[in-house]
Amino acid sequence: MTNESGDLMEKIVSLCKRRGFIFQSSEIYGGLNGCWDYGPLGVELKRNVKNAWWDTIVRQRDDMVGLDSSIIMNPRVWEASGHVSSFNDPMADCKTCKSRFRADQVFCATARDGDNVLLTAAVEADQPDDVPALASEKANSKTRRRLEQHADRIAWTIFRADQAPAGEVAVCPKCGGELTEARKFNMMFKTYVGAMEDSSSLAYLRPETAQGIFANFRNVVDTSRVKLPFGIAQIGKSFRNEINPRNFTFRSREFEQMEIEFFCRPDEADRWYEYWRDARYQWYIDLGLTSDKLRLREHEPSELAHYAKACADVEYAFPFGTAELEGCANRTDFDLRSHSEASGKDLSYYDDETKERFIPYVIEPSAGADRATLAFLCEAYSEDEAPDENGVMQKRVVMKFHPRLAPVKAAVFPLVKKEGMPEMAEEIYRALKKAGLAVFYDEKGAVGRRYRRQDEVGTPYCVTVDGQSLTDGTVTIRDRDSLEQVRVPAGEVVRFITERLAGA
Ligand code: GAP
């Protein structure tokens, strides 16, 4: 992370804490690494993200049904899915400072200017592309200047800690000490079901919601009259004992997924894969990730799991680097076939038009609700200037959330706490609440400060009752982004705001 992007991330994390979006889990006891709590505004924001997904994916479509399966399932599910044998990350420890790392996320980099070695450094990164910038941060200011000034002729050699070439040793990003060889670490959390704590009662917290969908494929086909092509969608918590949770909520040990398993005929799978890859990418744009920080990256054939025919990631350039928000994969018939073989149950589909029986292929767009929420927070964060009540320009932080995602849709203020203004403002506040909107009422302090407090949490509209309101019954509505203020009859406020929110 460069200084500038590090500062930006710090500002976002501190705003999240200060304004009640995201807190460290069990903070009063010193927290728990990899676990986070969403505060009053954060829970609204994340709920809006999940609702937008559910609405687009389930409610607006004819070919999708929903599901809410259990977190703890029969452990045989995880044997059949391959998670017990292969849901592993490579782990390496520093021999000196004893820190533990995900070895596939530690990169050792050397920068050369001709024969001259300018820098060797180890960094943690999600993508090799981010390594030169992150490694440069570790250089002293003189070397950093040389790296910047001669960027065009600097040659970087980079290797992953678990893929060190012969003769090279991977080193610790924290202290520079030597790292151990990478060894496999299974990321599933284990628990015991019932009173006995032995191998017969061993169970796992699900590391993905997807397997609950496959395990219910037969139930859904038999009870819902669905016909291919159709999908099953699920939102829910997943758990992974990440070796090194980091980057705020981006890599957590407890997180929420929004997953689709879309079943289709094998000969139509390529077309549905392209459809879902593009539709899911567009979903983020439609909700405000409009900058060039969002990108769609098709996997190289060498990156694909052995059962997958194609895979693409929706990625976002966070301040800490570019990383995955969602993966979309053509998983062929691998999952249904594995569960059918392991359970002995028939998970094939009979197509009564073509009179064929086969195991459907599945396209899986798998998103993280916390990662999407974090991307919306990062994209929304901006700093600009707005006039205060005296017309003097003041710096402001404004969260430019898409109105559909904004945790609070409108705030209502009486200009002063007297002359009947609070009563009129409260009536408008009640009417907005009755219309089903998340609304905030505030009568404390200078109105300019009240506006700025709402800007900082991304409230699209602020309604102010002032002196004129008492004589002609109109109020002002201020737009968060354009800062324009219009006068609207008090009785029209609900219609004005709901229409604009619906059109956003
Ligand atoms: N069923 C496929 C599956 O689970 P994945 O790429 O491992 O695929 C899908 O996870 C999505 O879940 C990711 O794109 C990410 O958004 C989210 N996710 C995965 N691990 C996460 C973690 N440790 N913290 C937060 N989100 C995570």
Does ligand 1 come within 6 angstroms of the Cβ of 327? yes
The pLDDT value recorded for residue 394 is: 86
Pocket test of ligand 1: the residue of 36, 208, 252, 334 to mutate, having most ligand atoms within 8 Å of its CB, is 208
Q: What is the atom index within ligand 1 of the atom nearest the CA of 259? A: 1
Does ligand 1 come within 6 angstroms of the Cβ of 89? no
Residue owning the nearest CA to atom 9 of ligand 1: 366
Q: What is the atom index within ligand 1 of the atom nearest the CA of 257? A: 12
Q: Which amino acid is at 232?
A: I
The pLDDT value recorded for residue 217 is: 98
The pLDDT value recorded for residue 182 is: 93
Does ligand 1 come within 6 angstroms of the Cβ of 361? no
Does ligand 1 come within 6 angstroms of the Cβ of 256? no
- Angle, helices 3-18/369-380, rounded to nearest 10 degrees: 110
Does ligand 1 come within 6 angstroms of the Cβ of 324? yes
Q: What is the atom index within ligand 1 of the atom nearest the CA of 245? A: 23
Pocket test of ligand 1: the residue of 46, 206, 366, 373 to mutate, having most ligand atoms within 8 Å of its CB, is 366
Residue owning the nearest CA to atom 19 of ligand 1: 368
Does ligand 1 come within 6 angstroms of the Cβ of 368? yes
Does ligand 1 come within 6 angstroms of the Cβ of 366? yes
Distances (CA, A) of 199 to 74, 88, 184, 339, 468: 13, 20, 21, 22, 74
Residue 290, token pair as written in the block: 């409009």
Cα end-to-end span (Å), the chain: 34
pLDDT, tens digit only, all 504 positions of the chain: 666 777 999 999 999 999 999 999 999 999 999 999 999 999 999 999 999 999 999 999 999 999 999 999 999 999 999 999 999 999 999 999 999 999 999 999 999 999 999 999 999 998 888 899 999 999 999 999 999 999 999 999 999 999 999 999 999 999 999 999 999 999 999 999 999 899 899 999 999 999 999 999 999 999 998 999 999 999 999 999 999 899 999 999 999 999 999 999 999 999 999 999 999 999 999 999 988 999 999 999 988 988 899 999 999 999 999 999 999 999 999 999 999 999 999 999 999 999 999 999 999 999 999 999 999 999 999 999 988 778 888 899 999 999 999 999 999 999 999 889 999 999 999 999 999 999 999 999 999 999 999 999 999 999 999 999 999 999 999 999 999 999 999 999 999 999 999 988
Distances (CA, A) of 63 to 232, 405, 431: 9, 25, 37
Beta bridge partners of 122: 108
Cα–ligand 1 centroid distance for 293 (angstroms): 19
3-81+200-377 and 408-502 have identical folds? no
Cα–ligand 1 centroid distance for 307 (angstroms): 18
Does ligand 1 come within 6 angstroms of the Cβ of 189? no
Does ligand 1 come within 6 angstroms of the Cβ of 254? no
Residue owning the nearest CA to atom 18 of ligand 1: 368
Does ligand 1 come within 6 angstroms of the Cβ of 124? no
Does ligand 1 come within 6 angstroms of the Cβ of 338? no
Question: 3-81+200-377 domain in CATH 3.30.930.10?
Answer: yes
Model's pTM, two decimal places? 0.93
Q: Delimit the domains of the chain by residue range.
A: 3-81+200-377, 89-186, 408-502
State in words which class domain 408-502 has: alpha beta
Cα–ligand 1 centroid distance for 327 (angstroms): 8
CA 15 – CA 245 distance, rounded (Å): 21
CA 504 – CA 496 distance, rounded (Å): 12
